[in-house]
Amino acid sequence: MNVREATAADEGTVRDFTAAIFAENWNRPWPAPEITPALWEDCLVLLAEEDGEATGYAYGRFEPGQYVHVHIVYVVPGRRRDGVATALLREFASRARDQGIGHMSLDVAIANEVGREAWRRLGFSEWALRLTAPLERLDATRAAGESYASLHVQTDDRDAVDAAVAKYLPRFGGSGARVEGPRNGWVAVYAELVDRDRRARERLASELSNATAAVACAIAVEDGAVVRYVLYERGSVVDEYQSVPDYFEPLPPGDVVALGSNPTVVSRLTGADPGAVRATARTASSPDDLPPAEELLQQIAGVMGLEGAGRG
């Protein structure tokens, strides 16, 4: 087998091989690029031959002193498992060493199990994961709406809540809380930090629940579009809800399910009717499929008996 650098006379072969691998393996969510010499411009293109017949090719780009990245390795179907790909990569490695390069990288689709296993056998290992998302999922053009929240502690002991807020809120970088109630058996807490910082909000709710040995609920409208609540019992999360589960980031199916309200738990902790919880705390794939966020928050808070939820 002979491996040599492709010349201008090989352009037709390189085009045909590129078209073949795109037809066989292109599974990216965007269209394949136009096949022109611009694809392999500033790249090394190697051609494998046997008895004068082209059996495969590879092309890649060198980053001197750093690494060589091989963009494509293609072997004609009848010559696979004959060592053609290995020969092409070894020639790349030889030329890379001449430039002081010590590493080679390449891309392989997650779904291409055969290809992944082949590269592993040749000594490649995973070091990164390339992710993709449609731009609309990133909501790049959406203006962020208002976020606001409240914490509710199921107790009539306002002094205990005041003391816990005074102790824990400054630890999370907040100040100036407003404590109101009790109303309908709940003491409510409002603070600027609670409005803007989900992590601090939920950590504070956990600490209030733990300090008072009472049920606590952090409930919020986020980005003007999403309703979220977390229920705590003795400081631990026992139910979590988000009206659009993957609004902020794509989630695995199990996480989407976990962000749906649990009517049984809500009923046990708040006395709410499970059927009313199920009918009210619903989820959707888009805010447009639900009532306006403020309206939905008030509906859910009403079922739980949380007076003054949200802005207060």
Per-residue pLDDT for the chain (312 aa), expressed as one digit of tens each? 899 999 999 999 999 999 999 998 888 888 999 999 999 999 999 999 999 899 999 999 998 889 999 999 999 999 988 999 999 999 999 999 988 899 999 998 887 888 888 889 889 998 888 877 776 655 544 456 889 999 999 999 999 999 999 999 999 988 899 999 999 999 999 999 999 999 999 999 999 999 999 999 999 999 999 999 999 999 999 999 999 998 888 888 888 899 999 999 999 999 999 999 999 999 999 999 999 999 999 999 999 999 999 998
Q: Is residue 47 part of a domain?
A: yes
**What would the two tokens of residue 94 be?**
């030889």
Q: Is residue 196 part of a domain?
A: yes
The domain of 106 spans: 2-132
- The verdict on 155 and 104 lying in the same domain is no
Residue 104 has what pLDDT? 94
Three-state SS string across 99-156, please?
CCCCCEEECCCCCCHHHHHHHHHCCCCCCCCCCCCCHHHHCCCCCCCCCEEEEEECCC
| Of 81, 108, 132, the domain-final residue | 132
| Of 132, 166, 195, the domain-final residue | 132
Number of domains the chain is built from? 2
> What is the per-residue DSSP string for the chain?
-EEEE--GGGHHHHHHHHHHHHHHH--SSSPPPP-SGGGGTTSEEEEEEETTEEEEEEEEEEETTTEEEEEEEEE-GGGTTTTHHHHHHHHHHHHHHHTT---EEE---TT-HHHHHHHHHTT-----------GGGGTTTPPP---EEEEEES-S-HHHHHHHHHHHGGGGT----EEEEEETTEEEEE-HHHHH-HHHHHHHHHHHHHHHTSEEEEEEEETTTEEEEEEEETTEEEEEEESSTTSSS---HHHHHHTS--HHHHHHHH---HHHHHHHS---SSGGGSS-HHHHHHHHHHHHT-TT-TT-
- The verdict on 196 and 287 lying in the same domain is yes
Residue 140 has what pLDDT? 44
Q: Is residue 169 part of a domain?
A: yes
- The verdict on 158 and 28 lying in the same domain is no
- The verdict on 118 and 161 lying in the same domain is no
Q: Is residue 309 part of a domain?
A: no
- The verdict on 157 and 274 lying in the same domain is yes
Q: Is residue 62 part of a domain?
A: yes
Q: Is residue 312 part of a domain?
A: no
Residue 137 has what pLDDT? 59
- The verdict on 85 and 213 lying in the same domain is no
Q: How far apart are CA 62 and CA 95, in angstroms?
A: 9
Residue 81 has what pLDDT? 87
Length of the chain: 312
- The verdict on 92 and 157 lying in the same domain is no
Residue 113 belongs to domain with CATH number? 3.40.630.30
- The verdict on 202 and 256 lying in the same domain is yes
| Of 132, 153, 179, the domain-final residue | 132
- The verdict on 121 and 39 lying in the same domain is yes
Residue 136 has what pLDDT? 64
- The verdict on 48 and 186 lying in the same domain is no
